Structure 1
Amino acid sequence: MSEEDDDLAALREQTSHGDRLEEAAAEDAKRVLVEDILDELESIEAGDKQKTISVWDGHLAAFIRALEENPDRLMDVGHALQRQLNLEEGDVDRSEILRLALRLGFQEAAPKEFEAVREAARKQATKGL
């Protein structure tokens, strides 16, 4: 079998019926997640739910408090997170560090799911235009 035949076989496999069904199911699952996120955003905007989240973790609490006691390190960590997320470096505080760390973690560990957050934010921003 030639290299061209191998490429053609690989292309056929990629475009098989099963792959298209899996892609459609994944898109449907993403759409549902985006809708759920939009519902939650609307509840937050209406004041029915809070914007805050809580995390119970002694080690992280100690780390964040130690950073707050060392403002230069707090800025270094914050700027490193901003660079990783391709954001412009700016002022950081406890809340910003935690927000950036969560975003980076979700983006790295679950990029497809986290893309639903971005899509929901885009839809919410353009709602009513």
Structure 2
Amino acid sequence: MSDPDLEELRQQTQRTDRLAEPATGEDESDDLVEDLVDALAAIDSGEQAKTFAARDESVTALLTTLAEREQDLEAVGTSLQSALGRDVDRDALDRSEVVRLAVRLGLREAAPEYLDLLADASGEYARRNF
């Protein structure tokens, strides 16, 4: 890995002080929840894809290698499950599940308020549709 790559990685992983950042106002939160409800509806209806993609060569290399090494995939996956406070379920682990868990853990650590808003939106979507 070259020095610019290391510097970029260092900047990407640098922690920030959440208290120094502006808080999301209640109106903005309500708007975001409503936008999330709309996005969930679009996904549910097939109007929007259920998947997402990310371009990252080194993470792709890691995930590809883990997918070929079941024991390592299981180690990473169960660590993610545990870190999220979930029951360890080795049978549920595949490359996609590891990515999903890693994204959720990253959001929980860096922007937990957005996961809370997503939970609110999921509840609201379920309430409206069931």
Give the TM-score taking structure 1 as reference length.
0.77
Q: Which amino acid aligns with 1:77?
A: V
Q: Answer with 1 or 2: which has the greater Rg.
A: 1
Give, in whole Å, the separation in 2 of the partners of 1:68 and 1:58.
15
Q: How does 1:35-74 map to 2 (within 5 A)?
A: 35-74=34-73
- Percent identity, please: 36
User: Which ranges of 4 or more aligned residues in structure 1 deviate by more than 4 Å?
Assistant: none
* Equivalent residue runs for 1:8-87 within 5 Å: 26-87=25-86
Secondary structure of 1:117 counterpart: helix
Q: What's 1:95 paired with?
A: 96
The CA deviation string for residues 59-98 of structure 1, in whole angstroms up to 9 with x for no partner, is 0000001111110110111011011111111120011000
SS of residue in 1 equivalent to 2:25: helix
Please, which runs of 5 or more residues in structure 2 have no aligned partner? 1-21
Q: How many residues align?
A: 107
- Would the alpha carbon gap of residues 128 and 66 (structure 1) be closer, same or farther in structure 2, given more than 3 Å must change? closer
The one-letter amino acid paired with 1:68 is A
Offset at residue 127 of structure 1 (A): 2.2
